[in-house]
Structure 1
Amino acid sequence: MLFVNSDKIKSKPLPSLSENTFLRYFSFAALYVAQGIPEGLLWYAIPAWLAMNGKSPAEIGSYVAVVGIPWSLKIINAPIMDRFTYLSMGRRRPWVLFGQLGLILSFLSMSLIADPLNNMSALMILGFIVSFFEVSQDIAVDGMAIDILPVDQQARANGLMWGSKTLGISASVAAGSWIMSHYGYFYAIVSFSLVISVIILVPLLLRERPGEKLLPWTNGEASKAAEKIQLHSWKGIFKSLYKVFFLPVSFIMGVAAFSYSFGRGLIDTVLPVFTVQELGWADTDYSQIFATANLISGILGMIIGGFLIDYFGKVRMISIYMSLLILLACAMSFLKSFWQNDIFVTGFIICFYILLTFTNIAIFASAMQLCWKRISITQFTLYMAISNLGLAAGAALLGPLKDLFNWEYVILCYIVFAVVMLVAIRFINFEKHQKRVEDLEIKHPDINIG
């Protein structure tokens, strides 16, 4: 027959994220590429373009400072996302769509600045708005990952997510800089707006859980699993956060994350100053090696970073990574006679950042596993805020340390914070923590009442 009764044709919906492992990995990787694109453009490509066109360091610094403000407000955004949602479309998916759609519209608006070089105020304002939606998408995607990913897939997913973001940053910096140089600012921003527009199809077409609405006007209903963990009051959110964060394992994780980030912030600040001022490198030499190290570490993290953690365990791999980082720092400090050997220093930087990336993947996966799902966004963001505080504190320590010590001893100071992390991580017991979280669910059944 040439004609078929259309009433008999039934379209089968795509599997939801909770049902399909491949779609989970693919979705989170794609969404992290979407995060890397604005980060690469806002933080690297545009500042370089401004510098190339004669803008002063003060002007560029002001632009970067304004773009960075939304990242310091993550701890405010997170409870809002835990408190409010449209459950019939999923617990986190509406916020992911909000962030992704906001990125598209704000990017397109940013492209319409007629003369950005002579309209820095508009560039800062729209850069702030783009950054706000990037942060919103980042928080929502992390929350979805914690809610949807089984524990045994979190490490591998974090490896894919970290690597995908690195590729997004690298691609947007390389391609964005080239397009701006050859065709202009407008075409660079619009080009990446189109890429982000394609990526929005991922959260647009894939449900979190089966039976949920694809769009507000389509059929579907809230998942029972999502309804069970959704909080409906501010009191419930902050009471839950207090109780879970001050469980022993969770609190130790906060201390470990702060100490690790303190050391990382110190090294991140030491290396560019050390290589330029002590070793006589050009600033472009360090930038190129740093970019190469990040690209290599991102790709390796995507391929094997998560696999190693899944196979050997989070605590064991963090312990191995931290031990190797300590050995590398010792070698760099004690082998001063090799500092004029560019191959030695370059090898140190690349190996150090590969290990840092692998450690970051393991820490993120550990933090996810420790989160209480009813406040997963707020708790995970609190860990990240503690880490960011450590990064800032470590960076600020460079000046006082350099006033007191020579470079070899400044580098050696990293070991103090790495050892604290190495010791603290040995007290992380995921099974014991999960049992205590389950006890909280039993002891405080009223905590979810609005």
Structure 2
Amino acid sequence: MTSFGPQIIAALIVGLLLGLVAKYTGSTAEEPNGLGEALSIIGSSYVALLRTAVIPLIFFAVVASIANLAKVTNAARLAWQTLLWFAITALVSVVIGMVLGTVFRPGANTGQDMPDDYTGKTGDWLGFLTGLVPANFLGLGASTKLADDATATTSISFNVLQILVIAIAVGIAALKVGKAAEPFLAFSTSILAIIQKVLWWIIRIAPIGTVGLIGNAVATYGWDTIGALGKFTVAIYVGLALVLFALYPVLVRAHGLSIKQYFSGVWPAVQLAFVSRSSIGTLPLTQRVTERNLGVPSGYASFAVPLGATTKMDGCAAIYPAIAAIFVAQFFGVELSLTDYFLIALVSVLGSAATAGTTGAIVMLTLTLSTLGLPLAGVGLLMAVDPIIDMGRTAVNVAGQALVPTIVAKREGILDIDMYNAPRNGNPFADESISAPDAEAAAAK
């Protein structure tokens, strides 16, 4: 079976060629021909598949992560330290993303018209705070639009922030209830596993969706879009490289640890993440390298790493939404204010729990654009190059998911330094003769 990476590259080439054929045979956004219509349907259908799972994915991922707190000794302090460092690294990463988006200006000078349904309003603090209050249990909304021919169309939308607030409240309540909530928590974990499996199937057909998305983008916008998306992709990878090879090494060294040992220890998981494009799919390996190579006690790692797989996304929830939001604003000629930039940072830090190990970037992009009031048409546009970007994003996500538990364990004095510094000798894991770290033993050192 051909590996996933070549499938995506082939899909991009096929989509590009089909899009050019459609465009030069007369297909337009207003009046697409048969090929243009087919590409549009394929692309939009794939996005619809992803959006279908967003609500249950966010809800059960957050509930399951909060439930893991009950399994950790000294949970309150370790959880607080973990979340604090999640936020610190996310904040630095989103600042890097905003700087790069401003410097690269990947969406500028495209001359594209504003979508018809765009109201022209950008986000504000009051709207952000109001959006936190759930309108109903599922955070759903409905709107009806009357066409020129008097045909009424009703569309259903969802508010990711409200779903996140509901999930956090339910998760904390389940912890407070105690034993009576155990069946619910077990059910939530089971449902989450099923949803993630379905999402993985959807991701496996990403090459088909890529053909439709990139083909439709070319047929609709032409070469200006391809050039802008190429510049956008470069900006994203520059940001990811700065986080992975500059920010993370600085944090490792600042805590008195070897940069070489960190990278050699985490690299097996980073490699798998790059190929699989799934933090959840890489989770078992991430947890293993965090314990066996980086010396984090298993009791703490079993909480922090799964939590990070759904909430620690410096690639998907910081670098990407920052540059993507600026790209969409530039692409459609919308000026962003200083308040908008503060909102981007705030959403990236607080909204990371809305992400998940499979489609977190799409959720975060939707959340960011919705908060700023930017055209959501940008989601479909950027989906065209998402598979290529997602490889680097997921690799950075996983590297951060192993880094934060390592830093916290070192700060709390429970990191097994001998395990961390053990020679790798070209092997993916430290010598099996070295005992895996145990929380109590490490704390006694």
Fold in common (TM above 0.5): no
User: If each structure's helix is expressed as a fraction of its own residues, which one has the higher value?
Assistant: 1
TM-score, normalization by structure 2? 0.27
Larger radius of gyration: 1
Higher relative contact order (CA 8 A, sep 6+): 2
